Structure 1
Amino acid sequence: MSHRVSIAPEWLFHYRKQWARADIVAGLTAAAVVIPKALAYATIAGLPVQVGLYTACVPMLVYAFVGTSRALSVSTTTTLAILAANALSATVAGDDPAALATANATLTMLVGIMLAAAALLRLGFVANFISEPVLVGFKAGVAIVIVVDQLPKLFGIHYAKGSFFHNVGAFVAGLPHLSASTLALALATLAALILLERFVPRAPAPLFVVAAAIIAVAALGLRAHGVETVGAVPAGLPSWTRPDVSLALKLWPDALGIALMSFTESIAAARAFARNDEPAPDANRELLATGLANAGGALFGAMVSGGGTSQTAVNRQAGARTQLAGLVTAALALAVMLLFAPLMALMPHATLAAVVVFYSIGLFSPAEFRAILKIRRTEFVWALTACAGVVLLGTLEGIVVAIVVSLFALAHQVSNPPVYALKRIPGTNVFRRASSKHPEDEAFSGLLLLRPEGRIFFANAQRVAEKIRPLVRESGAKIVVLDLSRVFDVEYTALKMMIEADERLASNGTTLWLAGLNPGVLAAVRRSPLGARLGEARMFYNLEHVVAKYREIVARNDDDAAPR
């Protein structure tokens, strides 16, 4: 199989006419969700709302011709928006639209370059290094940060942004000065979204509430009652924006975190909504596709982009069969730029904030936390740690915490492999972990069967030895058997540990046997001094072979001990 990265639009070469109607309907339906949300996410990032339009157009267009997922809808997400907000607010001082546009172009281009470089280096496997519990905690933390960030827009309060606890305190202090009309509009928006999602789940709820809010502002003169709106939105195509190389040194750490999260979210959504009759999304090709989507978007005023789970779900549920649906969504975003931009000026900030909050809350899933806790308490703690890292340290730092926690979890698992004492189920050749729940299982006097599991190497060999010693001591066995059928690899440190174990056991009159070695492990043992010490006589195919040999020895000893 070739590993060459190709950018040929495979879906175009195999397109079927009967798919066209489904793709067009899906693209139009997804646009009704994508465009209002993209506008809202632009405001999260502190960017003008028209940036959301550019992001719903250019990256979607690029991805359609390069990406491997037929259903993935690529614009931006709540997570990426809040990460971009942190990066841009720390880079651009004051309210300078030109500086903000340049910084945004630089950040987005950096993300694109990093993703494309990762594709060339075939780093798609990196997506697997963030465990699911840690990702659950990270997204929950992002949801909390976003909701707190949007509270002043929902209540019509103004205060200087700071740390999480500063923002909470400033919000509480500002409550006496809230705008009743702004809060009423925000609550009405949230109620409408909830009702539409509950009773008309297929309806483009964000489009309806945004349109209704624009009409309400125009018809009821809500701006006179303190409701703030987006203001003038430039019509027409986005202008060419040149990144600033001098900003790259300042923005690259943020860009690296955003690139990782963009790819992680994109590949997760692509895999989740892939059909069985479609080509499976290719991780390295997805890196290239999202990289080019970001790089192309950077030149035309778009913000950082990636595949969104909720919009991809809408796209798929509406019947999308190929990336043509994404092209339709991009075309509708282009139409809004050219024809309907003046209407955007009447869009209330409170409505956009309500849309953001409504769809961000879904990132916080108590059910997933409960499911993790039910299965393993340790992983629940990891999820809470990732969540706290985002809330208390910041989103970029939260990504670092999430990766560190995931790697620590991996290190903990591989450094502490289980070692089980085994017994045999009566009347079978099945051996299982010795347990008080199965008192009828067979043990063999003088024979101890032990089964370590996983790879045994320098990081865990000593721990395996520490687990084996008390089991040997308590058993008083004359023959100790290591069943290595669940050990897929051993390296030098592990082999040296086994040699030391054999020497120690021999000094106490105990013999070490090995069983169930796979070809790779068997070859490694034979190449080492351990192989010469054991010889073929002390290595067995399986535990049944061990038991047969042990019984033969016992029978022979009994014969020798019998009176003549």
Structure 2
Amino acid sequence: MRNRSLPRHGAGLHLPVLEWVRGYQKSWIKPDVIAGVTASAVVLPKAMAYATVAGLPVQVGLYTAFVPMVIYALFGTSRPLSVSTSATLAILTAAALGQVAPGGGLAQLAVATATLTLLVGIVLILAGLLRLGFVANFISEPVLTGFKGGIAIVIVLDQLPKLIGLHVVKGSFFHNVYSLFAGLPHASLATVAVGVVTIAILVALEHLYPKSPAPLIAVACGIAGVGLLGLQKYGVDVVGHIPTGLPSLVMPDLSLIEQLWPAAAGIALMSFTETIASGRAFVHSGEAAPLPNRELLATGLGNAAGALLGSMPAGGGTTQTAVNRLVGAHTQLAELVTAAVTLGTMLLLAPLIGLMPHATLAAVVIVYSIGLLKPADFRAILAVRRTEFVWALVALAGVVLLGTLKGILVAILVSLAALAYQVSDPPVYELRRKRGTNVFRPVSDEHPDDEQFPGILLLRPEGRIFFVNASNIGHKIVPLVERAHPQVIALDMRAVFDLEYTALKMLTEAEKQYRENGIAVWLVGLNPEVFAMVQNAPLGKTLGHGRMFLNLEQALAAWCSQERKHAAPDARQGSVH
């Protein structure tokens, strides 16, 4: 019989494109083509808009929706994922380029962008080869919510001047807010009108016709307004000349690596986080979930190849992936169709795109970026745990006040601090038994009739016990012991999956101190790994099998038996007297 596990072991030796091509069905061709064309109507306007967010020419957005898309279709493991750039990546790119090419010309920006994008690709490829796909989990969901909310505020503030026809000198958050309000009297009414109309079109289409290519329609209306009404003579700025044809080869500048690699690492982390989240969100029943390490390689190769052809950092996008899937995409052929439409746009439609108003692009960015700030998500976090709500706010404030690149560091540090806080303060529950059952549960006012057993204190610590939290657990146990005055402390360890050496040593010392004070310590429900560790330590010899039990029922039975033995001599002695 054929071993079904063999293909899985050898999966790394095959191109993912061969896997979906091999099982391709003719009935999928039409929906894949329709999905690819429809998705391109969303991808292209947004990619061009996000290129302007990064401070780059709009054609860079087209290049980003072409090369990385093709590479991902060949190497990626998510069938519906649509790859270009995003609001988050664009604002991070802008911050990185602002450090090495402030006010630079197009040639300098192109070289700096190529260097940054290549570094992002290299970081992703190395992470994939080192199987670091789990790194995306280092940013917790509440912190990621706050981070994206901060990104939304930064992007909207960055685009508002373009929406009203102002040219302001960028600075800190408060400087930008002040400059915006100070410049309001000088706003261009015609530009404001274009921006407001574009926003109205986008919002109306999103609500009334959610499956329509709203960005494409809005952009077409903006271009038509310039062509038919001559909006330029009223002070409306347009994109201007866009080169027609394929992108030119751009070589990176190795001297910029030292300055750009920290930003590249942060952008790579966010690219992978968005890519894997988008890929996982639209998996159909029966499809394999995206493989994190394969996704790192695919997006890394896409960025590395795109860097040489003028692309900015790329990753999977949730909105365009949703459109791709909802319209009917079955395989990565849909992405290749989107890339083909992008190629046709570069070759044929570049002069037309040059008529697009900057206010139209700004409106597209604002409408789709503001969705990153989701008050409902903040409320949901607050309803569950106030502490994590604070972490989300800290991440948001870090991005807004310190900048996006430092905001990534703040987000990661807050996530790690949150993790450290959680593991450093594990719960310790006092247990009682539900009457008439063998169910032991924490003491609660909701269950006042639960049985307690004078003389034995049942405690249940939870989580991994190690050098960071062992002393905190000890501090929580002390007042429970002082209140109960037990003869035995039974530690139910079934919820403890690991016991580190330092913690074991502290437990040994605590057992000795309690024993010298006439209190015995029993261990209950040790898993095999923890049991083996205790057995190999001096504590195992001290406790012996007589003070280690499989479950609380056994421990309680031993305690009751011990109590009966102590009570029997007292009864006989009383009868003699």
TM-score, structure 1 length as denominator?
Answer: 0.99
- What's the counterpart of residue 353 of structure 2? 344
Equivalents in 2 of 1:202, 1:111: separation in Å?
A: 33
Counterpart check, 1:61 vs 2:70:
yes
- Partner of 2:460: helix, strand, or coil? strand
Superposed CA deviations along residues 430-468 of structure 1, whole A, max 9, x for unmatched, are: 000011221100000111000000011111111111111
Amino acid at match of 1:2: H
Residue 276 (structure 1) shift: 2.3
> What is the deviation of 1:2?
3.2
- Show CA shifts across 1:322-366 (max 9, x none): 111100000000000011111011000000000000000100000
Q: Give the deviation of 1:6 after TM superposition.
A: 4.0
1:229 deviation in Å? 0.1
Structure 1 segment 78-97 matched on structure 2, within 5 A: 78-97=87-106
Correspondence for 1:560 among 551, 566, 569: 569
Query: In structure 2, what is the Cα distance between the partners aligned to 1:93 and 1:499?
Result: 61
Q: Which residue of 2 aligns with 1:219?
A: 228
The 5-angstrom pairing of residues 362-401 of structure 1 reads: 362-401=371-410
- Choose the corresponding residue for 1:472, options 475, 481, 484: 481
Structure 1's unaligned 5+ residue stretches are none
Change (3 A) 1:254 1:39: same
Which whole-Å deviations, capped at 9, do the CAs of 1:231-266 have from their partners, x for residues lacking one?
A: 011101111111111111111111111111101111
What is the CA–CA distance in structure 1 between the aligned matches of 2:259 and 2:519, rounded to whole Å? 64
Deviation at 1:272, TM superposition (A): 1.1
- Structure 1 residue 22: Cα displacement: 1.2
- Alignment check: 8 A CA contact 1:153 1:353 kept: yes
Contact 1:7–1:66 (8 Å) recurs in 2: no
Which residue among 137, 154, 157 is the counterpart of 1:148? 157
User: CA offsets, 1:186-223, max 9 Å, x none?
Assistant: 00000011110111111000000101110111100100
Q: CA RMSD in A?
A: 1.0
Cα distance in 2 for partners of 1:278, 1:328 equals: 21
2:121 aligns with 112
Deviates more, 1:273-282 or 1:412-421: 273-282
Matched residue, 2:5: none
1:131 corresponds to which residue? 140
- C-alpha displacement of 1:155: 0.5
Task: After superposition, give the CA deviation of every residue in 1:242-298 in whole Å (9 maximum; x if it has no partner).
Answer: 111111111111111111110111111111111221111111000000100100111
Asked if structure 2 preserves the Cα contact closer than 8 Å seen for 1:7 and 1:65, the reply is: no
SS of 2:459's partner is strand
Alignment pair present for 1:456 and 2:453: no
Task: Confirm or deny that 1:193 pairs with 2:193.
Answer: no
Point out the more displaced range, 276-285 or 5-14. Answer: 5-14
**How far has the Cα of 1:183 moved from its partner?**
0.2
SS at match of 1:450: strand
2: distance between equivalents of 1:503 and 1:249?
55
Q: Find the partner of 1:504 among 502, 510, 513.
A: 513
- Measure the CA separation in 2 of the matches of 1:159 and 1:32: 31
For 1:109-508, list aligned pairs within 5 A: 109-508=118-517
Paired with 2:303 and 2:259, the residues of 1 have a C-alpha distance of 19
> Structure 1 segments of 4 or more deviating over 4 A?
none
Q: Deviations over 1:156-207 (max 9, x none)?
A: 0111111111111111110000000000110000001111011111100000
Aligned 1:13-24 pairs, distance under 5 A: 13-24=22-33
Write out per-residue CA displacement over residues 349-384 of structure 1, whole angstroms, 9 at most, x where no aligned residue.
Answer: 000000000000100000000000000000000000
Return closer, same or farther for 1:188/1:7 CA change in 2, 3 Å cut-off: farther
**How far apart, in 2, do the equivalents of 1:222 and 1:346 lie?**
10
Which of 512, 521, 529 is matched with 1:520 structurally?
Answer: 529
Q: Which residue of 2 aligns with 1:75?
A: 84
Aligned-pair CA distance for 1:3: 8.0
- Deviation, 1:5, is 3.6
Corresponding residue number in structure 2 for 1:28: 37
C-alpha separation in 2, matches of 1:402 and 1:55: 27
Inter-partner Cα distance in structure 2 for 1:92 and 1:494: 52
Residue-by-residue CA offset, 1:124-173 (whole Å, 9 max, x unaligned): 11011100000000000000000000011000011111111111111111
The amino acid across from 1:432 in the alignment is R
- Structure 1 distance, partners of 2:10, 2:507, is 40
Q: Distance in 2 between matches of 1:30 and 1:186?
A: 24
Q: Secondary structure of 1:481's match?
A: strand
Aligned to 2:457, the other structure's residue is in SS state: strand
| Cα distance in 2 for residues equivalent to 1:7 and 1:170 | 55
User: Percentage identity across aligned positions?
Assistant: 61
**Paired AA for residue 347 in structure 1:** M
Q: What is the distance in 2 between the residues matched to 1:436 and 1:172?
A: 56
TM-score using structure 2 length: 0.97
CA distance in 2, matches of 1:452, 1:156: 61
- Of residues 295-304 and 498-507 in structure 1, the stretch that sits farther from structure 2 once superposed is 498-507
Q: Which amino acid aligns with 1:87?
A: A
Give the whole-Å Cα distance in 2 for the aligned partners of 1:492 and 1:243. 50
CA distance in 2, matches of 1:36, 1:412: 43
Q: CA deviation at 1:7?
A: 5.3
Question: Is the CA contact 1:78–1:356 (under 8 Å) kept in the aligned structure 2?
Answer: yes
What letter is aligned with 2:327? Answer: A
